[in-house]
A and B are shown apart, each in its own frame.
Chain A
Amino acid sequence: QQPVQSPQAVILREGEDAVINCSSSKALYSVHWYRQKHGEAPVFLMILLKGGEQKGHDKISASFNEKKQQSSLYLTASQLSYSGTYFCGTDPNTGNQFYFGTGTSLTVIP
């Protein structure tokens, strides 16, 4: 039930945009996005709920296609601080049992 993320890695220059995709084979109730910097805990970015509700970061946006069981995270005008590994976590049954993707490594260079 582990979701699949793409791309696996991306390198951006400051100011460029990026899209990270997350796809699940199971019906989803919600999708969560986290960013983890090396040696640190994953930090919550965004949650997308079935039905369209979103809660999260004001400089990062995301979409959730319930029918296709897919979510995309949009990073615009990237900053150096955006570097890290991004994980999507999917919750198939409204509980707290999340399945996380293998991550997308994002590096922003000057």
Chain B
Amino acid sequence: KAGVTQTPRYLIKTRGQQVTLSCSPISGHRSVSWYQQTPGQGLQFLFEYFSETQRNKGNFPGRFSGRQFSNSRSEMNVSTLELGDSALYLCASSLDTGNGNTIYFGEGSWLTVV
């Protein structure tokens, strides 16, 4: 069974540009969530999607957005990139059975903003 797949794995962008990251969840998983990981802040929740609807949102500015498609694949977008957006962006998927859902992480997309 394939795991959570994220693309691209590594990318370098310039301040002011925008970036789109993609996530394919484990087959059958309908919940997809996104996290930002930095050395200073640890894992910070960005947002969570279920059946193409955003159900939860973390405390990030509106430059961070996402969406989910009918096949549960998800994308997140960061506009007007800032140096502080450099981080590992992790996607996680879950079956969402409603009782202690385990989330499974992808290997992440390393974003460097210069």
Contact of B98 among A94, A102, A103 (CB under 8 A): A94
How many residues of B sit at the interface, in one of the four size bands?
Answer: 20 to 34
CB of A95 within 8 A of CB of B102, answer no
Q: How many A-B residue pairs have CB under 8 A?
A: 63
Chain B residues positioned under 8 Å from A82 (CB to CB): none
Candidate in B33, B35, B58, B101 with the most chain A CB atoms within 10 angstroms:
B101
Check A47/B58 contact, CB under 8 A, given A96-B94, A100-B43. no
How many residues of A sit at the interface, in one of the four size bands?
Answer: 20 to 34
Distance of A29 Cα from B101 Cα, bound (Å): 11
Candidate in B42, B98, B106 with the most chain A CB atoms within 10 angstroms:
B42
Q: Does B55 contact A (CB under 8 A)?
A: yes
Chain A residues positioned under 8 Å from B48 (CB to CB): 95-97
Chain B residues positioned under 8 Å from A40 (CB to CB): 107
Taking beta carbons and an 8 Å cutoff, which residues of A are in contact with B? Answer: 2, 29-30, 32, 34, 40-44, 47, 49, 53, 55, 87, 89, 94-103
CB of A96 within 8 A of CB of B43, answer no
